[in-house]
Structure 1
Amino acid sequence: MLTDMDISQQAKLRPIGWIADDFGLGKHLWREAGHSMAKISLEAAKAPRRGKLVIVTAVTPTLFGEGKTVTTIGLTQGLHLLGHRACACIRQPSLGPVFGVKGGAAGGGYAQVVPMEAMNLHMTGDIHAVASAHNLAAAAIDARLFHETRLGKAAFEAKSGLKALNIDPEQILWRRSVDHNDRALRQIQVGLGDNNGPSHGSGFDITAASELMAILALCDDLNDMRSRIGRVILAMSLDGKAITAEDLGVAGAMTAILRDAIEPTLMQTLSGAPCLVHAGPFANIAHGNSSIIADRIALAHHDFVVTEGGFGSDMGFEKFCNIKTRASGIAPAAAVLVVTLRAVKANATAGDDNLAKLESGFANLRWHMQNVLGYGLPLVVAINRFPDDTEEELDWLKVRCLAEGAFGCEISEAFARGAEGAKALALAVARACDTNSNANANANTNGNANSKASFKPLYSDEMSFGAKLTTLAERYGASGVNLSGQARKDLALIESLGLDGLPLCIAKTPMSISHDPALKGAPGGFELPVVGLRLHAGAGFITVLTGKVMTMPGLGLNPGYLGIDINDKGEIVGLG
């Protein structure tokens, strides 16, 4: 079989204007961003909602993933093949995984967004716009600290005409960001040298973890984004007051940098189905979903919209249900859980032969199935087939999934066969959506009874921080929660600001349902360690840091960039 790169480069793309026409967009609602991409106006979201939203998630993945994006794109192509108006909504790939371990995020095989090299290599620059706006705020807060310290309060106010903020250099909360894996930047000291201080500790997060990335994914429109950016807390003052981007006077400029980035990018799949690519928060350290704006635009023009949450159902799907639906008010009509035989075996805790490993590892799949079903959604399991999978094992897994309460279970061959290989899955998903009253109902974002929709978040807005955290920890299988001294200090600050009622975004390993990547299967009885909290007042959630999770990844021994180059024709090679 050809490589992903070969398939993409040999594909005959339709002009992006044709894709926009099929989408149902008048020329005033889009503008070209090169031959293969277009930026879509937010005005396109104002049409009445007509479509059903499908969320794709997965079991606890192996290192290279289980084909969730392949399934998302393949399912969209399958629905398109069946004659439905279908659109995919996915995140923009970060350069961190592209040059690191996991590779690109355009799907693969014959279930790709094309051209894959354009998608994987910074597209229209939205992620860099996020980093630029983020780092402007970092520069602004340090510049303000420098001038206020250099001049003193009275002279600063007299010369600048601004009110002194009295920044506490030990309480500058806003780190810097860059869209690469770079462990050397996790902790840094800024303000070194003569006339550059005051010096203080800081660090870098990967841009996917920036609060601005979360805001881009969760805002309603440009005005809402401007308001949210204004609420971002950058630092604390010496007298314990929060200093926001609005207080610093930088919120407007940050929004100006992101003015074009707020528009989703329209691309196409190999079969010519539309795909909106927008925002790129990771699910292990951020909320892991593409934008509400893209969903609304797609739902206004299509029968089915297929989106995905990063990593397993304990990560992006959980945050989709408890963070994104609260902001959007849009309930999913059905969920798809992607599994592979290799993932089931990798999560085994016992067994010497293949069937014994499947039996043992099924505990992990069962947990993910029950987790999805616990949100009140009809569930279709997609078994992503690999060439060496046996019919015996596939049949065994299919029977077990149906016995555990799946609405349907289908083998997906979208990677090898494209739309045709996802046709059975598409039929099952369409039937599942038809059975669910969520299809045309808003999400019940407060967790109260709703006669029209069975979807229900895991916790209500009224629950305390502790109750929300305990509820999430118990869902993971923990017997308790242990807050470190730093986490307790962080919580006291958040409580003093009256923002402890926000939803929670758990930052943890994606390689286990627990916080510990070594705990396979469906672990239980462990204590969930919380090492710190980060308040994201603009995005509207609190990030809970657990275990040894890092918000800045590092490169491994054999990073992906080693195989990426250009050939003698100037074509990019080695992406995949």
Structure 2
Amino acid sequence: MKDIEIAQQNKMNKITDVAEKIGLKPDEIEQYGTYKAKIKLPVTAKTKTKGKLILVTAINPTPAGEGKSTVTVGLGDAFSLLKKKVMIALREPSLGPVMGMKGGATGGGFSQVVPMEDINLHFTGDMHALTTANNTLAALVDNHIYQGNKLHIDQRRVIWKRVLDINDRALRHVVIGIGGVTQGIPREDGFDITVASELMAILCLAEDIADLKKRIGQIVVGYTTAKEPVTVDQLGVTGAIALLLKDAIKPNLVQTLAHTPAIIHGGPFANIAHGCNSVLATQTALKLADYTLTEAGFGADLGAEKFMDIKTPVLGKTPDTVVIVATVRALKMHGGVAKNELEEENLAALQKGYVNLQKHIASMKRYNVPVVVAINQFTSDTEAELAKLQQLCADDKTTAVVADVWGKGGAGAVELAKKVLETCEQDNEFAPLYAADDELETKIEKIVTEIYGGAKVEYGVKAKRQLKRFKELGWDRLPVCMAKTQYSLSDNAKFLGAPKDFTIHVREFMPKLGAQFIVALTGNVLTMPGLPKVPAANGMELSDDGTISGLY
């Protein structure tokens, strides 16, 4: 049975019942139909000590599949089966992957959040609000230049791009303002995907509306002819951009197939942004539940590192346990097996590919947080392969638990949940990767050498020039957000497993003063993806009675 068919056969509880289960009063939510709601801010009278926080991450993704969201949902349902007060906090899907290659982000099989069709499509309109706010700011920048340019913005140095929540490679580089005097000032421009917008990062890091406005005002949209930064506050439009996000900032409440409460809010990609759901969503879950399960995008080298070094200082809470999701299939692919040969038992390839998981285990333990490996079971996995993987983890003094969450839902993750509950009680002194006042180069070097396992960092001509200017502007001590391929620990997607002695190439930086980090663009990573040869959209259909099919 397909994921969407499982979801459509499920009987959901009314969202008011889900809210009541976690102690929310009717006037503390805003309903979006029967099965979705936004949680009003602030969540009042919730003053209990923050609950335990479990971060779910994964190995570097492969076409074989890892199932990080599926494990997160299944593990949350297992906590519910064990009678624990638990909430799940996930990111919102982007229409780019939904219509492209990756698919949706609501889990799979019997471990899904619902209503999956709504969540994967327009949901509560957050993505559209972000797209509108971003493009409104772009229009206001160009209008300012056209209407006399009081701030002396250099049209060649505008860095604020337009965005679209779909993969569209044709829009990466465009020329705007052509067609005559009344059409604006001609200049080069480009589009990012919405989830790469700084407004998405700001939404996910803002602690309240006041903080949202402060961060929006600090956004650098470009530079003057004297090469001085120009901010949104200087344009005088901070309030206009903030009000477009007044509803989007509120976390979205839904449920799993097993009726475990789930918050889905914010959706920055981890390969080009910071890859974590909103601080407000996670804080809300920590207030309402004893255990919060959240995830960070792609492998631990990207999402988890950014969770630890960018999100936790704002969140004010570090993980009590890190769960790393791996599959036998994916590790065999890291070991050199072709996708069409993954059904065959291959212990040698599994051991060879294990180095990828091994590196992620070591990287997460670097933060001095307990680590548990979740082996997401596929039907093709053999007993010998599962046992081999558990033994390899045991040799690295790490517990690995097999979980069948796709086929059994929460029941397939009960043993995993018990182990996670056990590790959550262990004492740990969180050790950040770098000091807040380290220089950008130092922070990048530590990420490359300690998290990726690389040897050194090389900076392109533009990046070197920017580093010098950032130092003059006082931006050289901000956290760094690495934009890198998700498929490899290196910046070359073809280097699988755990490559050694490689160099990370930083070609340029993008200052995100509102988000309060600097993005380092490495290799050939793109901030606007393209669609595959056969997009997932080709298999989607809407029946005459309104039933959706082909969405996954």
The SS at the match of 2:136 is helix
The corresponding residue for 1:168 is 154
Q: Deviations over 1:56-114 (max 9, x none)?
A: 00011113640000000001000011000000000000000000001110001000001
Q: Contact between 1:566 and 1:573, CA under 8 Å: does it hold in 2? A: yes
The corresponding residue for 1:501 is 477
Q: Contact between 2:191 and 2:528, CA under 8 Å: does it hold in 1? A: yes
Q: Deviations over 1:358-388 (max 9, x none)?
A: 1111111110111111111111110000011
Q: Whole-Å Cα distance in 2 between the matches of residues 350 and 384 of structure 1?
A: 18
Q: Contact between 2:64 and 2:330, CA under 8 Å: does it hold in 1? A: no
The corresponding residue for 1:457 is 432
Q: Contact between 2:193 and 2:529, CA under 8 Å: does it hold in 1? A: yes
The corresponding residue for 1:301 is 288
The corresponding residue for 2:144 is 144
Q: Map of 1:555-570 to 2, 5 A cutoff?
A: 555-570=531-546
The corresponding residue for 2:442 is 467
The SS at the match of 2:458 is strand
Q: Contact between 2:55 and 2:319, CA under 8 Å: does it hold in 1? A: yes
The corresponding residue for 1:445 is none
Question: 1:216 is aligned with what amino acid?
Answer: L
The corresponding residue for 2:403 is 412
Residue 341 of structure 2 is aligned to residue 354 of structure 1: no
Q: Contact between 1:111 and 1:414, CA under 8 Å: does it hold in 2? A: yes
Q: Map of 1:288-327 to 2, 5 A cutoff?
A: 288-327=275-314
Choose 264-273 or 477-486, whichever is displaced more.
Answer: 477-486
Residue 379 of structure 2 is aligned to residue 397 of structure 1: no
The corresponding residue for 1:82 is 82
TM-score (norm 2): 0.97
The SS at the match of 2:137 is helix
Question: 2:178 is aligned with what amino acid?
Answer: L
Residue 161 of structure 2 is aligned to residue 185 of structure 1: no
Q: Map of 1:426-437 to 2, 5 A cutoff?
A: 426-435=417-426, 437=427
Residue 187 of structure 2 is aligned to residue 230 of structure 1: no
In the TM superposition, residue 28 of structure 1 has moved relative to its aligned partner by 2.0
Q: Whole-Å Cα distance in 1 between the matches of residues 81 and 23 of structure 2?
A: 18
Question: 1:135 is aligned with what amino acid?
Answer: N
The corresponding residue for 2:467 is 491
In the TM superposition, residue 483 of structure 1 has moved relative to its aligned partner by 0.7
Question: 2:205 is aligned with what amino acid?
Answer: L
Q: Whole-Å Cα distance in 1 between the matches of residues 33 and 222 of structure 2?
A: 40
The corresponding residue for 2:27 is 28
The SS at the match of 1:419 is helix
Identical positions, percent? 42
Residue 239 of structure 2 is aligned to residue 252 of structure 1: yes
Q: Deviations over 1:190-233 (max 9, x none)?
A: 11111223211110000000000000111100110000000000
In the TM superposition, residue 349 of structure 1 has moved relative to its aligned partner by 4.8
Correspondence for 1:199 among 178, 186, 193: 186
Q: Contact between 1:111 and 1:418, CA under 8 Å: does it hold in 2? A: yes
Q: Contact between 2:490 and 2:503, CA under 8 Å: does it hold in 1? A: no
Moved over 3 A (4+): 349-353
Cα distance change of structure 1 residues 350 and 271 upon mapping to structure 2, 3 Å threshold: closer
Q: Contact between 1:481 and 1:528, CA under 8 Å: does it hold in 2? A: yes
Residue 322 of structure 2 is aligned to residue 335 of structure 1: yes
The corresponding residue for 1:126 is 126
Q: Whole-Å Cα distance in 1 between the matches of residues 177 and 454 of structure 2?
A: 42
In the TM superposition, residue 18 of structure 1 has moved relative to its aligned partner by 0.2
The SS at the match of 1:418 is helix
Residue 551 of structure 2 is aligned to residue 575 of structure 1: yes
Question: 1:204 is aligned with what amino acid?
Answer: F
The corresponding residue for 1:153 is none
The corresponding residue for 1:94 is 94
In the TM superposition, residue 426 of structure 1 has moved relative to its aligned partner by 0.8
Residue 489 of structure 2 is aligned to residue 535 of structure 1: no
In the TM superposition, residue 457 of structure 1 has moved relative to its aligned partner by 1.5
The corresponding residue for 1:386 is 378
Q: Contact between 1:109 and 1:415, CA under 8 Å: does it hold in 2? A: yes
Structure 1 unaligned residues grouped into runs of 5+:
150-163, 438-452
In the TM superposition, residue 350 of structure 1 has moved relative to its aligned partner by 8.6
Q: Whole-Å Cα distance in 2 between the matches of residues 416 and 383 of structure 1?
A: 14
Task: Give the alignment's Cα RMSD to 1 decimal.
Answer: 1.4
Choose 494-503 or 122-131, whichever is displaced more.
Answer: 494-503
In the TM superposition, residue 170 of structure 1 has moved relative to its aligned partner by 1.0
Question: 1:455 is aligned with what amino acid?
Answer: F
The SS at the match of 1:44 is coil
The SS at the match of 1:225 is helix
Question: 1:190 is aligned with what amino acid?
Answer: I
The SS at the match of 2:457 is strand
The SS at the match of 2:42 is helix
The corresponding residue for 1:159 is none
Q: Contact between 1:72 and 1:88, CA under 8 Å: does it hold in 2? A: yes
Cα distance change of structure 1 residues 170 and 64 upon mapping to structure 2, 3 Å threshold: farther
Q: Contact between 2:375 and 2:403, CA under 8 Å: does it hold in 1? A: yes
In the TM superposition, residue 503 of structure 1 has moved relative to its aligned partner by 0.4
Question: 1:461 is aligned with what amino acid?
Answer: A
Q: Map of 1:520-531 to 2, 5 A cutoff?
A: 520-531=496-507
Correspondence for 2:525 among 524, 542, 549: 549
The SS at the match of 1:50 is coil
Q: Whole-Å Cα distance in 2 between the matches of residues 369 and 200 of structure 1?
A: 47
Q: Deviations over 1:217-276 (max 9, x none)?
A: 111001100000000000111122211111101111000000000000000000000000
Q: Contact between 1:350 and 1:360, CA under 8 Å: does it hold in 2? A: no
Question: 2:306 is aligned with what amino acid?
Answer: K
Q: Contact between 2:65 and 2:327, CA under 8 Å: does it hold in 1? A: no
The corresponding residue for 1:160 is none
Q: Whole-Å Cα distance in 2 between the matches of residues 209 and 569 of structure 1?
A: 36
Question: 1:469 is aligned with what amino acid?
Answer: I
The corresponding residue for 1:68 is 68
Q: Contact between 2:78 and 2:411, CA under 8 Å: does it hold in 1? A: yes
Residue 270 of structure 2 is aligned to residue 271 of structure 1: no
Q: Contact between 1:63 and 1:102, CA under 8 Å: does it hold in 2? A: no
Q: Whole-Å Cα distance in 1 between the matches of residues 410 and 502 of structure 2?
A: 43
Q: Whole-Å Cα distance in 2 between the matches of residues 201 and 7 of structure 1?
A: 47
The corresponding residue for 1:4 is 3
The corresponding residue for 2:105 is 105
Q: Contact between 2:65 and 2:329, CA under 8 Å: does it hold in 1? A: no
Cα distance change of structure 1 residues 65 and 537 upon mapping to structure 2, 3 Å threshold: farther
The SS at the match of 2:533 is coil
In the TM superposition, residue 494 of structure 1 has moved relative to its aligned partner by 2.2
Q: Contact between 2:64 and 2:329, CA under 8 Å: does it hold in 1? A: no
Q: Whole-Å Cα distance in 2 between the matches of residues 129 and 59 of structure 1?
A: 32
Q: Whole-Å Cα distance in 2 between the matches of residues 26 and 35 of structure 1?
A: 16
Question: 1:40 is aligned with what amino acid?
Answer: I
Q: Whole-Å Cα distance in 2 between the matches of residues 277 and 330 of structure 1?
A: 19
The SS at the match of 2:332 is helix
In the TM superposition, residue 434 of structure 1 has moved relative to its aligned partner by 1.1
